[in-house]
Amino acid sequence: MIRTFKNHKIRKQVELTESLWEFEPCNGEHKGQKYLMHTPSCWETHPDFSDYRGEGIYRKKVTAGGNLRIECKGVSHTATVYFDGTEVINHYNAYTAFSVIIPNVEYGEHLIEIKADNRFGENSALHLPNDYMSYGGISRGVVLEELQDAYIQYVNLTPYLDGADWHARIECSVSLLNKKEGDSFELKIQIADKIISKELKVSDTKEIRINEDIGFNDIETWNIENPKLYEAEVKLLCNCNEIDDLIERLGFREVKVEGKYILLNNRRIRIKGVCRHEDHPQYGCALPYHAMANDLMQIRHMGGNAIRTSHYPNDEIFLDLCDELGFLVWEENHARGLEEESMRNPHFRGQALNVIKEMIPQHYNHPSIFIWGILNECASETMYGRECYKEEFELIKSLDKSRPHTFASCKFFHDVCFDLPDVISCNVYPRWYVDKSVEEYLAEVKGWIDNDQKGVEKPFIVSEIGAGGIYGYRNAYDGKWTEEYQAKALKEQLETCFSFKDCCGVFIWQYCDNRVSEEWFAQRPRGMNNKGIVDEYRREKLAYRVVKDIFCGLGNYF
């Protein structure tokens, strides 16, 4: 599965994953041995590679020809792709898609090789030893497409209200691969009961962009309770023959920041969220559709209405499910806890900006995404860090003016970036890292933000709050790491947050326990981050019922 709906009916697309590939590790005790490896998957889920940090080459023979396009939805964490032995693309970062076109290929059997590398080192400024696992492998889907002489690169859909009427701005880009004199091109766009046709003006450029604006009547909006989705089918015709198409989906909803609230279709949302790692003991970060759906059913069952994709862009299948089920998503670029020294890695700024340049265009149409986040707990207390935050926020606004942005800070009393984001967010741990009552500590933090003047008139989200609890661990005094302690702490934390003036919502840290890098063993019992309200197998801890009682007792709106 690549998406939960068909992106193409005309374009010839073959999914190369959901199948076995030849796999050959390049390092370690099994170096050079040939395996058959299931894909998509993390090689850590194979018994011979459960802690393998190195390179591995995946091989698959295909029979195809013409203008071939290979798209990888995610390879962890660095990929080099070869076609018949020639390198055709490389890509850093496990969490965004990348593609390459190989034109005018002779029809026949060809070899696709993907080398994945999950090693840490100076060239990797985002994937490094951390409180989550950088897995290895073809962790998301791979597709092979056969394109004609032109194809649709993207269709961006921006719904907006004009008074009481819904409109959609449509931005579309067509790429010309083999242009022949006299060719005429046309786009046909259908959304709901609206069909428009657009003659394309061919010039000497290889790309044609069009912008359209369509008004609609009798539209059902997208919201948490009724996540209505519409398909946008765009067809490309050359000399009146249909040669390509792209099917996207849109939800008619607007997100706005107004004073201290975030509005969904002009209603003030109350965020009842969880932070969620893409992590599972049987799948690594390559959760299949049904595992993602199970997570969302469990989160919905406990009254949750929002997910924070901590700390990287998520699989599109997961975002499709959030669109269909009516979850709000805070999606963020890839970074966790990088101090100034790490942010001064010469690769950092380019790598971090690239994640945004890929994340936003790739995920732009998902109505569930209501806010973009960046640089979780990075050096926002330094002037250099501020430069990085500023350039990333400016890039976000250049790519998407329809959504607010934010970052999760932990630099209390020293942060110098609260004037930059649309929404102020803080990760706070009273009753865990800070031995203070929740009320006392939240008042201190919020008081500082208000006095700091830069954040005072903005919405405030508690982007992380929680405590550790090891599944099944009990002791006589309900001490830290017991389920009882975690449940008690979360009860106080959530009750205080939701009764706290000017707090528009909470993301619990975290939904499920997750595996951490080997280097984090000392501060993470079991080699896991144990702050999940369910464990890594999604078994409820005592805290789950506490969260359920509180979340289910609150509505989705103020």
Please give the residue ranges that form the binding site for ligand ADA (CB under 6 A): 131, 310, 336-337, 376-377, 410, 427, 464, 509, 529, 531
**C-beta of 509: minimal distance to ligand ADA in Å?**
5
Measured in whole angstroms, the distance separating CA 394 from the mean position of its chain's CA atoms is: 19
Burial 191-222 (b: 16+ CB within 10 A, else e): bbeeeeebebebeeeeebebeeebebeebebb
Considering only CA atoms, which of 545, 546, 541, 547 is closest in space to residue 474?
541
Residue 548, classified by CB atoms within 10 Å of its CB into exposed (0-12), middle (13-18) or buried (19+), is middle
Element (H, E) at 507: strand 503-508
**C-beta of 102: minimal distance to ligand ADA in Å?**
39
- Integer Rg of the chain from CA: 24
Q: How many CB atoms lie within 10 A of CB 470?
A: 18
Select 148 or 376, whichever has its Cβ closest to ligand ADA: 376
Select 400 or 464, whichever has its Cβ closest to ligand ADA: 464
Select 333 or 529, whichever has its Cβ closest to ligand ADA: 529
**C-beta of 108: minimal distance to ligand ADA in Å?**
48
**C-beta of 527: minimal distance to ligand ADA in Å?**
14
Q: How many CB atoms lie within 10 A of CB 414?
A: 10
**C-beta of 521: minimal distance to ligand ADA in Å?**
14
**C-beta of 319: minimal distance to ligand ADA in Å?**
20
Phi, psi (5° rounding) for residue 252? Answer: -80, 95
**C-beta of 543: minimal distance to ligand ADA in Å?**
14
**C-beta of 14: minimal distance to ligand ADA in Å?**
37
Pair of tokens at residue 542: 């005592």
Locus of tokens 């939960």: 4
**C-beta of 408: minimal distance to ligand ADA in Å?**
6
Pair of tokens at residue 201: 């003006």
Pairing relationship of beta strands 55-72 and 185-191 according to DSSP bridges? unpaired
Select 464 or 483, whichever has its Cβ closest to ligand ADA: 464
Select 17 or 463, whichever has its Cβ closest to ligand ADA: 463
Select 338 or 546, whichever has its Cβ closest to ligand ADA: 338
470-477 long-range contacts, CB within 8 A, separation 24+: 470/525, 470/526, 470/530, 471/513, 471/530, 471/535, 471/539, 471/541
Select 95 or 509, whichever has its Cβ closest to ligand ADA: 509
Pair of tokens at residue 19: 């199948």
Select 222 or 312, whichever has its Cβ closest to ligand ADA: 312
Select 39 or 124, whichever has its Cβ closest to ligand ADA: 124
Select 131 or 422, whichever has its Cβ closest to ligand ADA: 131
SS3 of 75-136: the string is CECEEEEEECCEEEEEEECCCCCEEEEEEEEEEEEEEEEEEEECCCCCCCCCCCCCCCCCCC
Taking phi over 0 as left and psi of -120 to 50 as alpha, with beta for the rest, 58 belongs to beta
**C-beta of 215: minimal distance to ligand ADA in Å?**
43
Task: Tell me the C-alpha distance between 320 and 54, whole Å.
Answer: 32
Pair of tokens at residue 270: 């109350």
Q: How many CB atoms lie within 10 A of CB 259?
A: 11
**DSSP calls for 263-284:** EETTEEB-EEEEE--S-BTTTB
Helical segments of 178-261, H only: none
Biggest alpha carbon–alpha carbon distance for the chain: 83
**DSSP calls for 366-434:** -TTEEEEEE-BT-STTSHHHHHHHHHHHHHHHHH-SSS-EEEEE--TTT---TTSSSEEEEE--BTTTB
**C-beta of 261: minimal distance to ligand ADA in Å?**
24
**C-beta of 520: minimal distance to ligand ADA in Å?**
9
Select 142 or 467, whichever has its Cβ closest to ligand ADA: 467
Task: Tell me the C-alpha distance between 189 and 514, whole Å.
Answer: 43
Locus of tokens 């509180």: 550
Select 45 or 529, whichever has its Cβ closest to ligand ADA: 529
Select 30 or 531, whichever has its Cβ closest to ligand ADA: 531
**C-beta of 376: minimal distance to ligand ADA in Å?**
5
Select 52 or 429, whichever has its Cβ closest to ligand ADA: 429
**C-beta of 109: minimal distance to ligand ADA in Å?**
45
